[in-house]
Copies of this chain bind each other. A is one copy, B any other.
Amino acid sequence: MAAANREWIFVKRPSGSGMSESDFELRDCPTPVVGDGEVLLSTHLISIDPTMRNAMSGSEVAERTEGAAYYKFMNWQVGSVVSWSIIGRVEESKAPGFEVGDMVSTFAPLRERTVAVAEACQKLPDGVSPTAVMSSMGGTALTAYLSATHIGKPETGDVVFVSGAAGATGLVACQTFQNLGCKVVGSAGTDDKVALLESLGVSAFNYKKESTLEGLRRLSPNGLNIFYDNVGGETLEQALEMMNDHGRVVMCGAISQYDMKPSERYGVRNLFHVIAKQLTLQGFIVTIFSEEHKAECIATMAQWLQEGKLQDRHTALDGFDKFPAGIRGILSGVNTGKMLIRVPLPSSML
């Protein structure tokens, strides 16, 4: 049944003025044929992540990228189908252990119906919704929980600032630090996000109404022990002013800078504080963590969800055709929690 299918092609790198939805093109395509050991999936959720914007830029962002695995991987090739993290329903299986109707997460080409190697598919855990898997159990949770704990090294009573606190990673990071006994201050870009954060016990401010420096002076006048940064640029600069001696900066993301040419990015002028205040700034990508770390994360997340110590949130755009709008949306902060593209499952499932 070679029914009509569609796929997302990356057709051009963004110009200097930022990304555009027309950098992608939705094309008709055949439905792939399932080989041995493979499954055919109906795409149900697509994870939308800030780093997609870096993949659009390719290697142009560095003078030298040969040594960096990230820039090799996060480099979508113009003219090719975009691949990313999805959750889908098995429609056809030529792999033992996978049956029609199974819900799985995997990394696959962005097609409405797409084929994946079964060994690279994880079945969703019982009792957890697909959206909760993406917001609190998958790559987002691994990123946030493992870096917060293993790089931030929080101790009871530490004061932590999380930037982009109402985003996918920010929300898990905030709650991780809270569950480990820290006082958490968070920034976000709307009053609704601030209210959500406050409902979780986070001291929050709207960075569009007061500067990060003003917000931190007000909510954390005695300074910061840990800064968990999702935003970069001016936010990083202002938070460095408020760090205490021997503080740790977990550098998770720099979303404020991604949709700009490298030469136009914000220049951080106060890095001497790193010396004077004896700070450690550590960047990471989630692949640094081991299988043991991942198992620790999944077990902790499952327990926290069960105990009500982890609230998950997501913002979904409905429709496979919304993929480029999703990337634009996450860069402008339309999301609270995990940003997703949601595609209704075929009626065969209902």
Contact = CB atoms under 8 A, between A and B. Distances in A.
A180 interface: no
A173 interface: no
Interface string A263-282: 10111111111111111111
Contact of A269 (B251, B265, B288): B265
Question: How many copies of this chain?
Answer: 2
A25 interface: no
Given A271-B236, A271-B254, A244 B68 contact: yes
A272 B260 CA distance: 12
A69 B247 CA distance: 13
A241 B64 contact: yes
A282 to B, nearest CB: 5
A283 B282 CA distance: 11
Contact of A241 (B63, B241, B282): B63
A271 B229 CA distance: 12
Nearest to A272: B254
Most B Cβ at <10 Å: residue of A61, A223, A266, A270: A270
A212 to B, nearest CB: 11
Contact of A222 (B66, B241, B270): B66
Most B Cβ at <10 Å: residue of A64, A66, A251, A278: A64
Interface string A183-203: 000000000000000000000
A71 interface: yes
Interface string A39-83: 000000000000000100000011110111111001000000000
A284 interface: yes
Given A281-B280, A283-B279, A285-B278, A67 B243 contact: yes
A189 to B, nearest CB: 20
A216 B74 CA distance: 25
A278 B268 contact: no
A267 B232 CA distance: 13
Contact of A281 (B54, B66, B274): B274
A245 interface: yes
A64 B162 CA distance: 19
A274 B278 contact: no
Nearest to A257: B272
A32 interface: no
Contact of A277 (B68, B245, B280): B68
Contacts of A242: 63-64
Contacts of A253: 275
Interface in A229-256: 232, 236, 238, 241-245, 251-254
A148 to B, nearest CB: 15
A181 interface: no
A68 B245 contact: yes
A217 interface: yes
A37 interface: no
Contacts of A278: 70, 283-285, 288
A262 interface: yes
B64 A217 contact: yes
A217 to B, nearest CB: 7
Contact of A271 (B232, B258, B282, B288): B232
A54 B278 CA distance: 15
Contacts of A217: 64
B283 A276 contact: yes
